A and B are shown apart, each in its own frame.
Chain A
Amino acid sequence: MAGERVLYFDTKRCVGCHACETACKIENGISPGPKWIEVVQQVVPREDDGWTIEFMPLNCRHCTNAGCITACPAGAIGKRGDGVVLVNRALCIGCGECLQGCPFGAPQFGPGGLMEKCTLCAHRPAGSPTACEQLCPVGAIRSGTPQEMSLHKRSSYLITAIALSASQGR
């Protein structure tokens, strides 16, 4: 859907500082164990036979056809109007079927035994940035609709293009 909010990552920018994980834990008061967002590093080969490290964040993707929603027998998971997939903890029975239905392993289970996961900081007023986005020191995380993301990418491309042509003296 056009207006659905997503979390966008610039894996080229991420330096693996795990600030987003901390920000998320503090913002949402998550108990030890579950990680709503988790950044993992990966060694990838470069074209010139060298190696480089890339970081990949793992969190709920707020899918359009979310597997967790279909899997939940208690009807506790649903999609909000702005595309955010949320779990109603009053209805959750903690059966773990959402985890079976999720290809990303996003649903987490803390000591309380009920499902918890990224809410795209749904408790914040509409339009405000998420905690991870706010705290990311390199601006690798952005939340917004795909249009906003597209606009952001286009403008950053333009900036790079202009900078590049300037440096080459054209």
Chain B
Amino acid sequence: MKTIRKKEHILILGAGAAGLSAADAIRTASPDTPVTVVSGEKGRPYARMALPYYISGKIPLEGIMTREEKELARQGVTYIAGDPAAGIDIDRRRVVLRSNRKLPFDKLLIATGSVPEYPEMLAGTEAPGVSHLWTLEDARQIKRLAHEGSSVAVWGAGFVSFMAAKALAGHDRKVHLICRADRILRRVLDAEAADLVDRTLFEKDVLCLKNTNVEKVEVLKGGRKRVVLNDSSELTVDLFIIALGTKPNIAFLEGTPLAGKKGIEVDEYLETRIPGIYAAGDVAVVSDCVTGERITPALWSTAVMEGRGAGLNMAGARRRCDLALLMNVVDFGGYSAISIGHPLTKDAGAEVFQFTREEDRSYRRFVFKEDRLIGAIVVGACFDAGFFPMLIRRRVELTRDQKDALLRQPWDMASLLMSLPSLMQAKDLV
């Protein structure tokens, strides 16, 4: 691999999965390039994905920290915390932070992640206990307010709201999940899987209110909140968590050619249209590896992969890394629901196979198109689930016999998949 010239300064905006993966990759490829990582939040970098687990008490605060300052220093990475980027001067190649500090760069990686959507109707109800579950600060506040026996409402039925509801369940808390659609996790799970998840949630004292929306939220005296729903019923809760989706955090790029409608447009090496400026993680618009659509997946797994690829490319490699595979996991300890690829495709040419096993509440859905697996849902037993991302990502073409053999034993595909020769289709040989 070519290493870049010394003293070419690399600046990384964002210390999440993408930013830190990129820093690691640059370090392996080019040990003496000066690297600066800028985090918009105070304190050490942490894993946003693990916040619900911190709230539920499964792991301590220390457990969600992704890097120690010592470690960053040992890696030779300059870490600036609590000072988000406020603007970028492309011509003079420098980034302006909120504190008006100016950071010059030779190469820049924008990995500022995403920010949660805040509905306009909630303007004026800012109060402790009405919050997102997005930053460590939010999580701390929720953990403080969610004492035993409190009641909680979570607005939204996507991944974050689900994780929040699950994290707060138990300890005599009453948790309501307010869901606009007729089922939870509508984008990633089908009705059968959602039903299984729903049943498990119910056992954990989470009540899912379907086809329901929030009309109004009022802060009562004493700090409780009254949530008025569209069926004119009311909930009085201690905590109101908003999780209605996210959007790329690119407000500071306003007015530059970088800011696109969906996010930052990048080429297959994650470089933007301005040479030397790269984007990775939730802000980058990449291609779906199945459909080829341009998407911003906003997933931990894609952020890690893109961050690493962008880091290597910034350090002088030329590695294609813009293909993203959608992959969501929701878990209840020993029980999980995994959605990979496009299991809910509306494509007319897709063949759907469903399998249910009542005794351990397992459910599987496989979606094939032209003898290629393009989507899978795995609920319950999951020990062979690791094979499916590979099948989908590599667009492996199965023969009729192979496909039939797989579908004959839908609960244990591991031994068959391990010996599937056509799994192996290497591309871009060096």
Q: Which residues of A contact B (CB under 8 A)?
A: 69-70, 72-73, 75-78, 80, 86-91
Alpha-carbon distance A86/B427, docked complex (angstroms) = 10
* In the complex, chain A residues whose CB is within 8 Å of the CB of B424: 69-70, 72, 75, 77-78
Closest chain A CB from B149 CB (angstroms): 48
Cβ-defined contact, B425 with A75, below 8 A: yes
Set of chain B residues within 8 Å of A77, measured between Cβ atoms: 424, 426
Residues of chain B within 8 A (CB-CB) of A88 are 426-430
Leading 10 A-B pairs by shortest Cβ distance? A78-B426, A86-B429, A70-B421, A75-B424, A69-B424, A88-B430, A90-B319, A78-B429, A75-B426, A88-B429
* Contact residues of B between 387 and 430, Cβ < 8 Å to A: 390, 394, 419, 421, 423-430
By a CB distance below 8 angstroms, the chain A residues around B428 are 88, 90
A89 touches B425 (CB 8 A): no
Report the minimal beta-carbon distance from A142 to chain B, rounded to whole angstroms: 24
What separation, in Å, do the CA atoms of A73 and B427 have in the docked complex? Answer: 14
Measured CB to CB, the closest approach of chain B to A111, in angstroms, equals 14
Residues of B within 8 A of A72 (CB): 424, 426
What's the dominant secondary structure at chain B's contact region? loop
27 contacts between A and B (CB under 8 A): A69-B421, A70-B419, A70-B421, A70-B424, A72-B426, A73-B390, A73-B423, A75-B394, A75-B423, A75-B425, A78-B424, A78-B425, A78-B426, A78-B429, A80-B429, A86-B429, A86-B430, A87-B429, A87-B430, A88-B426, A88-B427, A88-B428, A88-B429, A88-B430, A89-B430, A90-B428, A91-B426
Are A76 and B426 interface neighbours, CB within 8 A? yes
A108-B364 Cα distance, complex, nearest whole Å? 40
Interface set of B (CB-CB < 8 Å, partner A): 317, 319, 390, 394, 419, 421, 423-430
CB neighbours (8 Å) of B430 from chain A are 86-90
* A76 to B423 CA separation, bound complex (whole angstroms): 11
Q: How many A-B residue pairs have CB under 8 A?
A: 42
Known contacts A69-B421, A86-B429; can you find 10 more A-B pairs with CB under 8 A? A73-B390, A73-B423, A75-B394, A75-B426, A78-B425, A78-B426, A86-B426, A87-B429, A87-B430, A90-B319
Does B427 contact A78, Cβ atoms closer than 8 Å? yes
In Å, the complex CA distance between A70 and B425 comes to: 9
Tell me which residues across on chain B come within 8 A of A73, comparing CB atoms.
390, 423
Min C-beta distance of A102 to chain B, whole Å: 14
A90, B427: Cα distance in complex, Å: 11
What separation, in Å, do the CA atoms of A72 and B422 have in the docked complex? 11
Chain B hits for A76, CB < 8 A: 426
Residue of B whose beta carbon sits closest to that of A70 = B421
Query: Which of A72, A76, A90 counts the most B-chain CB atoms under 10 A from its CB?
Result: A90
Contacts of A69 in B (CB 8 A): 421, 424, 426
Interface centre among B319, B425, B426 (most CB of A within 10 A): B426
Q: How far is the CA of A80 from the CA of B430 in the complex (A)?
A: 10
How far does the alpha carbon of A126 sit from the alpha carbon of B86 in the complex, in Å? 52
Q: List, in ascending order, chain B residues with CB within 8 A of A91's CB.
A: 426
A69 to B428, CA, bound (A): 14
Q: Closest A residue to B387 by CB, please name it.
A: A73
CA distance A24 to B319 in the complex (A): 26
Most buried by B among A75, A78, A87, A91: A75
A87 to B429, CA, bound (A): 7
Q: What's the nearest-Cβ distance from chain A to residue B9, in Å? A: 25
Tell me which residues across on chain A come within 8 A of B427, comparing CB atoms. 78, 88
Bound form: Cα–Cα A75–B430 in Å: 13
Please give the distance in Å from A80's CB to the nearest CB on chain B: 6
Bound CA–CA A11/B427 (angstroms): 35
The residues of A that contact B317 with a CB separation of less than 8 Å are 90
A77 to B429, CA, bound (A): 8
Cα of A107 to Cα of B424 in the assembled complex, Å: 17
Nearest A residue to B321, CB-CB? A90
Contacts of B425 in A (CB 8 A): 75, 78
User: Which A residues lie within 8 Å of B419 (CB)?
Assistant: 70
A76 to B79 Cα, complex, angstroms: 35
Cα distance, A76 to B394, chains bound together (Å): 11
A73 CA / B420 CA spacing, docked (Å): 10
Q: CA A87 – CA B430 in complex, angstroms? A: 7
Question: What is the bound-complex CA distance between A86 and B424, given in angstroms?
Answer: 13
Minimal Cβ-Cβ distance residue in A for B419: A70
Give Cα A72–Cα B426 distance, bound, in whole angstroms.
10
